Amino acid sequence: QVQLKESGPGLVKPSETLSLTCTVSGFSLTSYHVSWVRQPPGKGLEWMGVIWGDGSTAYNSALKSRLSISRDTSKSQVFLKMSSLKTEDTATYYCARDWTFAYWGQGTLVTVSS
């Protein structure tokens, strides 16, 4: 069955770079695109960016200068890197599959604090 699972550090310092991994199973990354979505505590959902089945990427304009999404198809993994972290980047980070967003990971909480 389709599964996605996020992993990464729970705590990152301001100005540092966040690295997260989304490990998927039950589908191929070359057939389905995967997005990253984040949600600050008690707030709404923000689409961050996507890696398409052909490996190209697209980003939220507000985050584009700090964000990079890549993948390793052999390991069924999608990676998020976001630089110059601020306290307001504290959020639960999710990965989700295709335009339906019918499949989500369980989310990983990242706290940005010194």
Q: Which residues lie near other proteins (CB under 8 A)?
A: 35, 37, 44-47, 50, 58, 60-61, 94, 96, 99-102, 104-107
C-beta of 46: minimal distance to other proteins in Å? 7
In single-letter form, the type of residue at position 52 comes to: W
CB of 43 to other proteins, least distance (A): 8
Q: In angstroms, give the least distance from the CB of 13 to other proteins.
A: 26
Q: Are β-strands 11-12 and 108-112 bridged in parallel, bridged antiparallel, or unpaired?
A: parallel
Least spacing, CB of residue 14 vs other proteins, in Å: 26
Which of 16/92 has CB closer to other proteins?
A: 92
Q: Using the minimum distance from each CB to other proteins, give the nearer residue, 27 or 58.
A: 58
Q: Is the backbone of residue 55 left (phi > 0), alpha (psi -120 to 50) or beta?
A: left
Nearer to other proteins, 19 or 58 (CB): 58
CA 60 – CA 42 distance, rounded (Å): 21
The answer to whether residues 76 and 12 touch, using CB atoms and an 8 Å cutoff, is: no
Give me 26's structure tokens. 């039950």
Of 74 and 100, CB closest to other proteins: 100
Torsion, CA 45, CA 61, CA 112, CA 97, rounded to 10 = 50
